[in-house]
Amino acid sequence: MESFIIKGGVPLHGEVTISGAKNAALPMMAATLLTPERCVLRHIPNLSDVQFMGQILTSVGAHVQIDGDTVTVQAGKIKGIGDYNLIRKMRGSICILGPLLGRLHKAKVSLPGGCVIGPRPIDLHLKGMRALGTQIVLQQGYICATAPKLLGAEIFLGGRNGPTVLGTANVMMAAVLAEGVTTIESAACEPEVVDLAQFLNEMGAKITGAGSPTITVTGVGELHGADHVVIPDRIEAATFAIAAAATNGQVTIRGARSDHFQAVLDKLREAGVTTETKSSALVIRRAGELKPMDVTTLPYAGFPTDAQAQIMVLMTATPGISIVTERIFESRFMHISELARLGANIAVEGPSAIVKGGSLLNGAPIMASDLRASAALVIAGLIAAGTTRVNRIYHVDRGYEKIDEKLRALGARITRVQST
């Protein structure tokens, strides 16, 4: 197992290029199962989750080739069951359910795993599949689904904490080969859903309304291969923007889509950070003393839950009282106890964390609990005095391509070492 050793106190300066979006890439890789023809996906990040998804596609019979940031998949002859041990390790693996049902009308997929950030039931995924005419039984850890044929339907996917992103993707992928018209109400509006819809349309699907709460899918008889470039990762871009602000540095972020994370940039500006677009790149720098802020995570286009832990670290460096309210995942404050090891003063009251900021953090051994918490702890190490050791960094490798190399290029003193 590996760890990061970080010697803090160095402002970040320079340029960083954002990789492709993991949360767009994984559903798109699953979507290649919808056609026997060759599909090419470009600007794919080199992540452990991408490798996992490639192995899952291989386990159902697809031929997968990963060459740098390009993934080529040809799913000529596939079967309806994936490798149990692979699928249960990653939340995004549930996305093969829709494509397998759409193409084969049957699927046997293990219940998915992923980060421990609170309950993330798949009831809305199953609700959508059942509405399309699927019979589903949960048996020995598997979702066993069969459908003599899929029929278009009106499906409402709103949940207790808002729309389901993966559920929207899954139902959309099943519906493209269903007979008739499917209308998805309370659909997720995230850019990753829009990018998936564009890829499916390039494959011959008929999808309208992606990016709005109502998506309409008109079923087609078959799909063909396509060549698609994945959008940049808005959460990686937000993470580097927050890191630049927290370290009192100046970083030029290239390849990002600022329109995809405006809620984060708005809060940074509220905190006294300058965000400026120059030659299609985004420049982040502090404009004076940081100011306290209140942040509430919400479905897109609200503040993303995936940037909540990172913005909390910035709050620890901000004099005064700041508040974070988590409305998406109820257990997404697990990083707070680790920040406290560094000297952060944070109190939790229900869904809110009250941060009394402005005191210097001091380096210590800390442990990551999930993907985004890992990124937050890395930022905390960058601003802490002395040396911080971040353990269990396999979490961060699931969602950030070579984050240590990118940070070193910006001047950070961060080293990857084998844990003892």
Residue 132 sits in a domain whose CATH number is: 3.65.10.10
- Cross-strand partners of 416: 4
Residues 271 and 382 reside in one and the same domain: yes
More confident residue, 109 or 210: 210
Token pair recorded at residue 324: 């974070």
Residues 311 and 179 reside in one and the same domain: no
Specify the range with the lowest mean pLDDT, choosing from 134-143, 169-178, 307-316.
134-143
pLDDT at 420: 65
Residues 209 and 163 reside in one and the same domain: yes
Whether the predicted pLDDT of 223 surpasses 80? yes
Give the number of other Cβ atoms within 10 Å of residue 133's Cβ: 19
Last residue of one domain, picked from the residues 203, 229, 255:
229
Cα 188 to Cα 194: distance, rounded to the nearest angstrom = 9
Specify the range with the lowest mean pLDDT, choosing from 71-80, 206-215, 253-262, 327-336.
327-336
The maximal CA–CA distance of the chain, rounded, in angstroms, is: 64
- How confident is the model over 227-237, as a mean pLDDT? 98
**What secondary structure letter does DSSP report for 373?**
H
CB 203, CB 40: distance < 8 Å: no
* Closest by Cα among 366, 399, 400 to 382: 366
pLDDT above 70 covers a percentage of the chain that reads 98
115 catalytic? Reply is yes
pLDDT band at residue 226 under the 50/70/90 scheme: very high
DSSP states of 200-234: HHHTT-EEE-BTBSEEEEE--S-----EEEPPB-H
Residues 199 and 322 reside in one and the same domain: no
Cα 34 to Cα 162: distance, rounded to the nearest angstrom = 28
Cα 185 to Cα 175: distance, rounded to the nearest angstrom = 14
Per the structure, how many domains does the chain have? Answer: 2
Amino acid at 119: P
pLDDT above 90 covers a percentage of the chain that reads 87
Residues 6+ apart with CB under 8 A from 100: 33, 60, 78, 80, 106, 107, 109
Residues 395-420 pLDDT 10s: 999 999 999 999 999 999 999 999 76
Q: Which of 39, 115, 144, 189 is catalytic?
A: 115
- Cross-strand partners of 414: 6
pLDDT band at residue 113 under the 50/70/90 scheme: low
* Closest by Cα among 279, 318, 323 to 297: 323
**What secondary structure letter does DSSP report for 141?**
T
Residues 346-365 pLDDT 10s: 999 999 999 999 999 999 99
pLDDT at 120: 47
Say whether 35 sits in a helix, a strand or coil: coil
More confident residue, 36 or 122: 36
CB 271, CB 314: distance < 8 Å: yes
Q: Which helix (H) or strand (E) holds 375?
A: helix 371-383
Give me the torsion for CA of 1, 232, 216, 154, rounded to 10°. Answer: 30
Last residue of one domain, picked from the residues 176, 198, 229:
229
For the chain, how big is the Rg over CA atoms in Å?
21
Residues 14 and 43 reside in one and the same domain: no
Cα 173 to Cα 178: distance, rounded to the nearest angstrom = 9
pLDDT at 119: 39
**What secondary structure letter does DSSP report for 151?**
B
Residues 28 and 123 reside in one and the same domain: yes
pLDDT at 238: 98
* Closest by Cα among 134, 102, 130, 74 to 219: 102
Residues 273 and 411 reside in one and the same domain: yes
Residues 60-91 pLDDT 10s: 999 999 999 999 999 999 999 877 787 777 77
pLDDT at 140: 86
CB 152, CB 178: distance < 8 Å: yes
Last residue of one domain, picked from the residues 195, 229, 263:
229
Give me the torsion for CA of 239, 241, 247, 251, rounded to 10°. Answer: 130
pLDDT band at residue 344 under the 50/70/90 scheme: very high
Residues 215 and 276 reside in one and the same domain: no
Residues 43 and 162 reside in one and the same domain: yes
Residues 240 and 225 reside in one and the same domain: no
pLDDT at 118: 40
Q: Show the domain range for 237.
A: 2-19+232-418
Residues 142 and 261 reside in one and the same domain: no
Cα 293 to Cα 323: distance, rounded to the nearest angstrom = 7
Residues 126 and 270 reside in one and the same domain: no
CB 270, CB 317: distance < 8 Å: no
Mean per-residue pLDDT of the chain = 94
Between the two ends of the chain, the Cα-to-Cα distance in Å is: 8
